[in-house]
Amino acid sequence: MVHGGRAASTAGGGAPMPTARERNQAMTLIYLIAGISIVPLFVLGLFAHVRVRRVFARRLQEPTKKGLTGSRLARTMLNASGLNDVLIEEVEPNLADHYDPSRKVVRLSRNVARSSSVAAIGIAAHEAAHAIQDGSNFTAVRIRNGMAPIVQKAAFFILPLLFLGILMGSVIATSLFVNIAVILFLGIVVFYLVTLPLELKASSMALRYIKDNGIADEKEITGVEEVLRAAVLTYIIAAALAVAQFFRLLGLYRILKV
């Protein structure tokens, strides 16, 4: 005679279904791994930011033979894609380069906009590629652009909500605040996971344009690749850190619910 729910789950010939205890143990292990990985990921994130600055500073001193400035290269890429209405503006801080989809503006730091260095053409082409993605109306781009202003504001509310949830004496109030914090953080994770492939694609588009149009020779291309890899690494680590923090938050959520 066979006893227990586990045996019943194998009646159809499939694999046995995990019990509630096994599921809890598996989730606890995930929360533990997430918690342990946060510190190394944070350290890796700091390393990645330091590295991208060092690579940028070094490659900024290497001029390309063709002498096309970052601003000129971005303008050429945009015009070739029919995006003549997208503006290019200079900004003061280094590594503040970005594309603003709400205003249709590619913003380049002065060292990038006015330089014809290996670093400048890599970064300028990458940001122009983001504008091209936006102009192509990719679904992922629309999702990211729609989420960006919400995510930026949500990040400021998560910690206060968690503290309020912990301090509140009422179980209902605690659950409410923590639930809201978990939902907001899930939105941040989704944002990072949507953004990461777009960053990888933008780097690929930038590199392909530079190669196909002879903007840099083989040696210079190696430098461009290093700059783009260093920048993308920061996004990869940021996404991994967001996922780890989310699972750690879920662990806290389970503790507060018990």
Of the candidates 89, 78, 126, the residue with the CA atom closest to the CA atom of residue 230: 126
Phi and psi of 117, rounded to 5°?
A: -75, 170
User: In Å, what is the CA distance from 65 to each residue of 112, 119, 172, 204, 211?
Assistant: 16, 13, 66, 22, 14
What residues have CB less than 8 Å from 214, skipping those under 6 apart? 66
Residue 60 CB-half CA count within 13 A: 17
Active site residue 127: yes
- The H helix count followed by the E strand count for the chain is 9, 3
Residue 156 CB-half CA count within 13 A: 4
Catalytic choice (89, 127, 218, 226):
127
Identify the H or E element spanning 206.
Answer: helix 171-212
Q: Which residues are catalytic?
A: 127
